[in-house]
């Protein structure tokens, strides 16, 4: 009985000691956390800097193989691109040489045929640059007024070109100014042909920005996107000048989109191809 009491007392003392020890451990831990939370950040930054300085060389060494492989890949990629471009340029160079040879052959044939037929080429074209100073547009006309200055080279009927295509012809010359009849004018009729299929027609203005292609064959090979050029018929415009592009083919009419943005024109070229006056003179003599 006495032994049990002694054992019980010892167990009680041991439990009390364990409880005090846990309380002490918790107190020390809380105190340590408080101290760490209040610690100077400079020490932590200094420690992290030291760690980075130690491990940066190691990281660089580890990254070197990957960087080398990536550099080799990029170099191979660049070499492949240069090789492909070089191959493409060689092919284009060959095509250009072939085209040059064909042009040389055609030039020789043309010279021989001209000599055989005693053909005389038309005179070289000359032009005068004119500044647009006014626009006349209503229900009855579509024309521009251009300033030509002190020149006597501009005549009625000469072709007027924008930056990329025909825009009309000189209708009236009055001193330093000329009136340009646009091909969108209702009074303008230009003989044209489809550049791709060589189908002929008349480009007629209707006082809108979308002239119409008329008098074409019912089964004419015409598609949207086809380029229209002057046919050279009637002697007003020489053959081959770009005029417009087929934009829509309807049941009753064919719309043509102008190549030159006429409302944005600031300057035009008035070109003398040396054919209009001769043709007019020839027609007048026939009618007389």
Summarised one tens digit per residue, pLDDT across range 246-288 is 999 988 889 999 998 888 889 999 988 776 555 555 545 555 5
Q: Is it the case that residue 110 has pLDDT exceeding 70?
A: yes
149 & 16 share domain: no
Phi and psi at residue 121, to the nearest 5°? -65, 155
Candidate ranges 53-57, 195-199, 275-279; pick with highest mean pLDDT: 195-199
Look-up: residue for tokens 């021989």? 112
261 & 142 share domain: yes
Q: Does 29 reside within a domain?
A: yes
279 & 154 share domain: yes
Look-up: residue for tokens 């451990």? 25
Provide the pLDDT for residue 49: 66
| C-beta pairs of 122-127 under 8 Å, 24+ apart in sequence | 122/238, 122/273, 122/274, 122/275, 123/273, 123/274, 125/238, 125/271, 125/272, 125/273, 125/274, 126/153, 126/271, 126/272, 127/161, 127/269, 127/270, 127/271, 127/272
Q: Does 105 reside within a domain?
A: no
Q: Does 93 reside within a domain?
A: no
Into how many domains does the chain fold? 2
Q: How far apart are CA 243 and CA 169, in angstroms?
A: 12
Model confidence pTM above 0.85: no
Q: Does 115 reside within a domain?
A: no
CATH for 160: 2.40.10.350
Q: Does 247 reside within a domain?
A: yes
Contact partners, residue 247, CB within 8 Å, separation at least 6: 210, 224, 255, 256, 257
More confident call, 284 vs 97 = 97
Max intra-chain CA distance, the chain: 162
Q: Does 85 reside within a domain?
A: no
Provide the pLDDT for residue 2: 46
280 & 179 share domain: yes
279 & 167 share domain: yes
Q: Does 79 reside within a domain?
A: no
Confidence of residue 225 (pLDDT cuts 50, 70, 90): very high
31 & 159 share domain: no
8-state DSSP, 260: S
Q: Is it the case that residue 93 has pLDDT exceeding 90?
A: no
28 & 165 share domain: no
142 & 18 share domain: no
162 & 280 share domain: yes
Q: What residues make up the domain containing 28? A: 2-39
Q: Does 199 reside within a domain?
A: yes
More confident call, 266 vs 11 = 266
26 & 140 share domain: no
């Amino acid at each position: 009985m006495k032994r049990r009491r002694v054992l019980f007392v010892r167990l009680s003392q041991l439990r009390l000691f364990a409880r005090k020890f846990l309380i002490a451990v918790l107190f020390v831990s809380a105190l340590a956390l408080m101290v760490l939370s209040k610690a100077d950040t400079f020490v932590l930054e200094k420690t992290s800097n030291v760690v980075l300085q130690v491990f940066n060389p190691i990281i660089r060494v580890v990254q070197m193989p990957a960087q080398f492989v990536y550099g080799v890949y990029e170099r191979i990629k660049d070499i492949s691109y240069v090789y492909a471009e070089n191959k493409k340029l060689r092919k284009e160079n060959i095509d250009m040489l072939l085209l040059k040879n064909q042009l040389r052959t055609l030039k020789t044939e043309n010279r021989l045929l001209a000599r055989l037929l005693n053909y005389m080429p038309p005179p070289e074209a000359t032009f005068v640059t004119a500044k647009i100073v006014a626009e006349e547009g209503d229900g009855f006309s579509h024309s521009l007024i251009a300033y030509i200055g002190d020149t006597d080279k501009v005549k009625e009927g000469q072709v007027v070109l924008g930056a990329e295509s025909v825009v009309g012809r000189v209708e009236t010359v009055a001193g330093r100014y000329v009136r340009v009849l646009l091909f969108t004018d209702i009074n303008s009729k230009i003989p044209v042909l489809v550049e791709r299929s060589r189908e002929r027609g008349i480009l007629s203005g209707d006082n809108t920005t979308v002239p119409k292609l008329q008098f074409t064959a019912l089964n004419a090979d015409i598609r949207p996107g086809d380029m229209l050029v002057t046919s050279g018929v009637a002697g007003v415009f020489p053959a081959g000048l770009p005029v417009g592009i087929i934009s829509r083919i309807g049941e009753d009419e064919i719309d043509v989109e102008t190549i030159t943005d006429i409302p944005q024109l600031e300057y035009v070229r008035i070109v003398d191809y040396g054919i209009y006056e001769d043709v007019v003179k020839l027609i007048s003599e026939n009618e007389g």
